[in-house]
Structure 1
Amino acid sequence: MRSLSLLHQSCIFVFLLILAAPLPSGATSLPRAASSQSHSSRSLFKRLLDVPFSWASRRSRTSLNGWLDTHPKLLESFQRYDDQVVIRFNVSTNAHEAALRKAIDQMLLDVWDFTDNYTDIRIETRRIRPLMGILPHTLQDNHYILIPDLARAVAATYPSRAPAREIVQPHSNNRGITPTNDIPLPERQGVNDIFFNDYQPLSVIHTWMKLLDSMFRGRGLVRMISIGQSAEGRDIPALRVGVPTDSAGTGRPGERKNTILITGGIHAREWISPTTVNYVAWSFIRSIDEDPMIAKILRNFDIVFIPVLNPDGYEYTWEVDRLWRKSRQRTKMAYCPGFDLDHAFSYQWDATQHQTEPCSESYGGDQPFQAVEAAELAEWARNETEHGVKFVGYLDLHSYSQQVLYPYAYSCAARPPNMENLQEVAMNLAKHMRLSNGEIYTTTSACEGAVANDVSADNIRVEASGGSAIDYIFHEFGARYSYQIKLRDTGSYGFLLPSEYIIPTGEELYQAMKYFGDYLLGNNGHESFSIPTVIEDQSEQIDIAADEEADVTELRRRRRKRGV
């Protein structure tokens, strides 16, 4: 196989920028001589660079004012966010979680995140006093403002000339939030990183996927497919990446390979999710000729990357409301559209446990698969299995909180039959992400919350249970290793992670995926292990690895004792 050269990479990014937007004034087309001299890579490269590259770079870093000029509806949402903050409540008891759940349902509050230690809520400042009035005194005295200027933080996530860190500084009080000054920033490497220097709107993401398909379909390495359409009629594209099993390498034979599925963008406002799916896809494609482990994984598995499962909602975050979470499908209340896709699947869907208020951020519908996008994914996956595909792994990317969550999400009382294996792989996924950049990812069951270990308290969790994607793919299609991974950060920015963290976050997931593929090959991930270059304190690195290896060893010991 021919190596993926810098020229090849450069062509992709330059074409991406050209096709994704109109040409600047004075530039009507590509140089006409380019096509006639395509046999000369040096000549082609020179002609591609004749396109004003400084303009192309500026396009991906356009001023915020320029963006607002063409998207006036965003101004309305910014004005609304002027009166909003994000509050973190320290939650440690069943009574705390029950009180918060009642207040959230009563006031239709937007839950940003919840773990076994805290719950983050977005709220208007004028509603803070009424909220405190219905909470117990212990919670009133056990909270703090996480993001004090929400409008400013929202504005900073759109493409801008100034780095996001210069535009907005997070509230930091050393209460378990990752200090952002300690996070290493990626080095800019010119054209090679243009796509990942910023978050990209839906049209650019689709153009990017089409270019990868056109560049690598000839080798049989990449194929762009569609898993269906959204409620508003948008396509839901995916990239199927894998080495053809026929010797000629010109196409795929009738027999399908085992498949790993990766989805992003279930929740529209979690922009780091789609871009990370794209980053991992690109990293696997460009590394196949350089990394024997990647080549081995792609010879044995197909990986299907679905960057944006919720295209309607994602588009809405770029055009109207940056913090929109759900889909945009009409509900029984015309003024409250949208379904929470992660509460819309059928496995253990329980009407008595589901949110019934369409205006709620966690409303998944009045019956399973009422959300079009969830139904399309399920139908596509079922069709794949009927044609010989076996799903062996599933990763559903979200933000934030830096967690690796395993089934079941619907109840802590139920235990998957391969619980020990799920825990072992989860810890190793977290370990490889940690060794990439030093960021800590924790692991736990997806039935998370303050009462995660109390099987009698499922009814008072902060969010309704049942209907999750990881439970459905795990149970219905036999993907024995199914995980929801919540990416960066731990609260300093929440859903508004600045663009300079795109590449470090992508690298973390890429390293985790290398381990995951190696493990599924039966190697327990040993071949995928590599010494990271970011952590300078090697003794600290060894201690981290040793501690986590001890945890894995203990899991294996317990499993042998049980005769598993």
Structure 2
Amino acid sequence: MSKSKFHNVVDMDVIGTGRFEARQRPQVRMPNRGTLWLLRKDRRVTLPPIEPQSHASLRPQTSYSAKVRSTRPFSRLRDIIIEKIWSIPGKNTHKGCSSSQPLPQLPRSFHARYGNDVVLRFEVRTEDEAKALSEATSMLYLDIWEATDDWVDIRIAKDVVPSFIGLLPTSLHHAYRPLMHDLARAVYDTYPTLSSDQSPLLSTLITAHGGRTHLGTPQDLFFQDYQPLSVLYPWLRLVASMFPAHAELLTIGQSAEGRDIHALRLGAKSQPGDPHDERHTLLVVGGTHAREWISISTTAYVAYSLATQYGHPHFHAVTKLLDHFDIVFVPVLNPDGYEYTWTTDRLWRKNRQSTSLPFCPGIDLDRSFRFEWDGHGSADNACSDDYAGPAPLIAREAQVLTEWARNETQTNNTTFVSYLDLHSYSQEVLYPYSYTCDIDPPNLEDLEEVALGLAKSFRLTNGHYYAVESACRGSITYQDKGGKVKKTRTRVQPESQGGSALDFFYHDLDVKLAFQIKLRDTGTYGFLLPKSNILPTGEEAYEAVMALGRWLLGNHGIESVDPNSDPVWGVEKTSEVTVEEILGGSGSEIDEYEEKNEGYEDGWDVELRRRRRRR
């Protein structure tokens, strides 16, 4: 028997049981910034590290950090001391595996749990096909990964495929293709491969104080891997302690299994007794569904970037935004489910709350909110991945978020001006309503304008196209100015959309700019997005949040907006990304529908300029 250990914080025992056992490192409280010696680490054996792909960081931040470090004459001496104390390796001590080296052998538990599964993409063209697919997946309790207007991704056991195909109409018998040939390997590759001598917490602390170590920047370490709760939560405390003037760690409640649900509030703190202390707040939530790891890393990345940039002369826009607005980041709304993906099942979706069926725990948090909850009309079997529970707000974490948000508005003089709900995958910016396609939201034009601005910010950052759609699922008819039917599109989603957090914040809490953003990718890896995507996805989301901030500053009269300017509200157009650059840099993750939407944003630009002139 053998034991494989992936990370300096998490040891994953794969002997026989097919389960991961996560061991918590003793948490250490740091009384001040200078006590580096408190971060001494345990020694653990690890797999040979796999060198990650290079990540592009925020250029102004890198430049600023370099200038700060150059003014510290003792940084080299500090490097030597740190290396002696912690035995931190030099630059060339750990080298990535060469392409000629064989991949690490998969533990037996990965083969046992995932080796017989495959992810299939079905191309769906009609409403009848969508209905048939929905009925067949419900009958067999299959795991629906994602669905858009044109396709549905389904995880299914290989030996069940013939039976499943037999339940479908003949038009779907050959309208599918496999997305992942080795699901077990894809799952395995999402877990950390950092050396035990590399500490993301240590790197964050040293670099934030102008130090230069062989560990690199915090982006190089903390965001080169997905991080478990045992690393993420101490990291949030560390960030809050390093920037007490504008960062505050919150606990909004506890999960069904008693874990804290932490949040990080960023913003210039008002003086006590200030009559103008109303807190206009943006709320960013990740980790609603446990397996969507990229949403958690992205939320943490945006929070860290804003926290470290506030007050620096190179980031005037960040300072202005946080001077006038608070931003609350909830990286993991579903800590129980997230922990379960690290210890037992990487593809778990729901929370871990007990249900009427002891062998089928868990409720889908994004079906549990009170507004237009329709649990009886959706999956009523606790074994279903989209089980909404027997009543609204039965899911503990949904109840916690609801109560905290209401308390903020009723007792803490908070006005939520925007809500961003981060998910994966499919690269979409979705606006209300989610529960129905028959009713348009009252401020539809503003929602469309802001959503297009967010999508354009994503595209201009790294060249990845994000579609803009209503979050509802069903038949949508698009019309031209004269009312003539222009196009009818069937949105395929074999699950109910009632009881969503998006609709709750938009309707019940009157958050005028509420969006659900589905991050990378479009299905090549799905929920198992490679770690090399963490940084670029975070950068894209950062630019989108800053674009939203510029819109809010202009809309509140804090910053003037030129009505004839680009509809992305001043996003700097660096260099337009060409098709050749996308094809050359994205490999197998090339956006599959870039050409299909050619000219889509250009048409919206004209429409948005027309709306602004009309105002």
**Match among 87, 90, 115 for residue 52 of structure 1:** 87
* 1:407-465 deviation line (CA, Å, top 9, x unaligned): 0000001111001110111111000110000001111000135x3449x9999951112
Give the 3 Å change call, closer, same or farther, for CA 269–526 of structure 1 in structure 2: closer
1:53-88 per-residue CA deviation (whole Å, 9 max, x = no partner) reads 2399999999997996xxxxxx54541211000000
Q: Residue type matched to 2:152 in 1? A: T
Task: Establish whether residue 553 from structure 1 lines up as the match of residue 606 from structure 2.
Answer: yes
User: 1:127-166 to 2 correspondence within 5 Å?
Assistant: 127-160=160-193
AA aligned to 1:418 is: N
Quote the offset at 1:43 in angstroms: 6.1
**Is this contact kept in 1: 2:282–2:417, CA < 8 A?**
yes
Contact 1:403 1:443 in 2 (8 A): yes
> Residue 507 of structure 2: SS of its match in structure 1?
helix
Q: For structure 2, list consecutive stretches of 5 or more residues without a partner in the other structure.
A: 1-31, 46-71, 196-213, 479-487, 555-559, 562-566, 583-594
- In structure 2, the partner of 1:31 is none
Mapping 1:478-493, distance limit 5 Å: 478-493=510-525
Q: Aligned residue for 2:305?
A: 283
SS at match of 1:379: helix
Per the alignment, do residues 197 and 48 of structure 1 end up closer, same or farther by CA in structure 2, a change over 3 Å counting?
same
Residue from 539, 544, 564 that aligns with 1:507: 539
In 2, Cα distance between equivalents of 1:231 and 1:65: 36
Aligned counterpart in structure 1 of residue 232 of structure 2, from 205, 223, 230: 205
Deviation at 1:122, TM superposition (A): 0.2
Deviations 1:103-137, CA, capped at 9 Å, x for gaps: 11100000000011000000000100110111000
Which residue among 120, 133, 148 is the counterpart of 1:100?
A: 133
Q: What letter is aligned with 2:125?
A: S
Aligned mates of 2:88, 2:269 — CA distance in 1:
36
Q: 1:539 to 1:334 in 2, by over 3 A?
A: closer
Q: CA deviation at 1:283?
A: 1.0
Do structure 1's residue 263 and structure 2's residue 285 form an aligned pair?
yes
Choose between structure 1 and 2: higher helix proportion.
Answer: 1
Q: 1:145 to 1:292 in 2, by over 3 A?
A: same
Q: Structure 2: how far apart are the matches of 1:45 and 1:54?
A: 11
Alignment pair present for 1:323 and 2:377? no
For 1:510-535, what per-residue CA distance to the aligned partner results, in whole angstroms no more than 9, with x for missing partners? 00000001101125676641234583
Deviations 1:188-210 (A, max 9, x none): 99233210010001110001101
8 Å CA contact 1:356–1:365 kept in 2: the answer is yes
Give the Cα separation in 1 of the matches to 2:476 and 2:254: 36
- Using structure 2 for the length normalisation, give the TM-score: 0.74
Alpha-carbon distance change, 402 to 60 in structure 1, aligned in 2, over 3 angstroms: farther
Q: Provide closer, same or farther for how the CA distance between residues 79 and 60 of structure 1 changes in structure 2, counting only shifts above 3 A.
A: farther
Indicate the residue corresponding to 1:363 in structure 2: 387
Paired residues, number: 499
The percent of aligned pairs where both chains have the same amino acid is 44
Change in CA separation of 1:205 and 1:254 when aligned onto 2, cut-off 3 Å: farther
Contact 2:106–2:185 (CA under 8 A) maintained in structure 1 = no
Query: Residues 315-336 of structure 1, C-alpha deviation per residue, up to 9 Å, x if partnerless?
Result: 0001111000110000110000
* 1:212-291 correspondence to structure 2 within 5 Å: 212-217=239-244, 220-246=245-271, 255-288=277-310, 289=312, 290-291=314-315
What is residue 48 of structure 2 aligned with on the other side?
none
What is the aligned counterpart of 2:444 among 413, 419, 426?
A: 419
Deviation at residue 91 of structure 1 after TM alignment: 1.0
CA distance in 1, matches of 2:387, 2:158: 24
Please, which runs of 5 or more residues in structure 1 have no aligned partner? 1-10, 26-37, 69-74, 163-187
SS in 1 for 2:341: helix
Distance 2:527 2:377 in 1: 26
Is it true that 1:191 corresponds to 2:217 in the alignment? yes
Range that drifts further, 309-318 or 552-561: 552-561
| Distance across 2 between alignment mates of 1:148 and 1:390 | 48
**Structure-to-structure mapping, 1:34-73, within 5 angstroms:** 47-50=81-84, 51-54=86-89
Q: 1:343 — aligned with what?
A: 367
Counterpart of 1:190 in 2: which secondary structure? coil
Give distance in 2, aligned partners of 1:377 and 1:479: 15
- Evaluate the alpha carbon distance shift between residue 343 and residue 56 of structure 1 in structure 2; reply closer, same or farther with a 3 A threshold: farther
- Name the residue aligned to 1:432: 457
Alpha-carbon spacing, 1:204–1:64, altered in 2? closer, same or farther (3 Å): farther
- Alpha carbons of structure 1 residues 445 and 39: separation in structure 2 relative to 1, 3 Å: same
Question: In the alignment, does 2:57 pair up with 1:22?
Answer: no
Please give the alpha-carbon distance, in whole angstroms, between the structure 1 residues aligned to 2:92 and 2:435.
Answer: 46
CA–CA separation in structure 2 for the residues paired with 1:257 and 1:124: 50
Give, in whole Å, the separation in 1 of the partners of 2:133 and 2:353: 28
- Structure 2 distance, partners of 1:531, 1:16, is 45
Judge conservation of contact 1:90–1:117 (CA < 8 Å) in 2. yes
Quick one: distance in 2 between partners of 1:499 and 1:332? 37
Aligned counterparts of 1:286 and 1:92: Cα–Cα separation in 2: 47
TM-score normalised by L of structure 1? 0.80
Which is bigger in relative contact order (C-alpha 8 A, separation at least 6)?
1
CA contact (8 A) 1:399 1:486 kept: yes
Structure 1, 550-559 or 436-445: larger mean CA deviation = 550-559
Which amino acid is 1:411 matched to? T
Q: CA deviation at 1:559?
A: 8.6
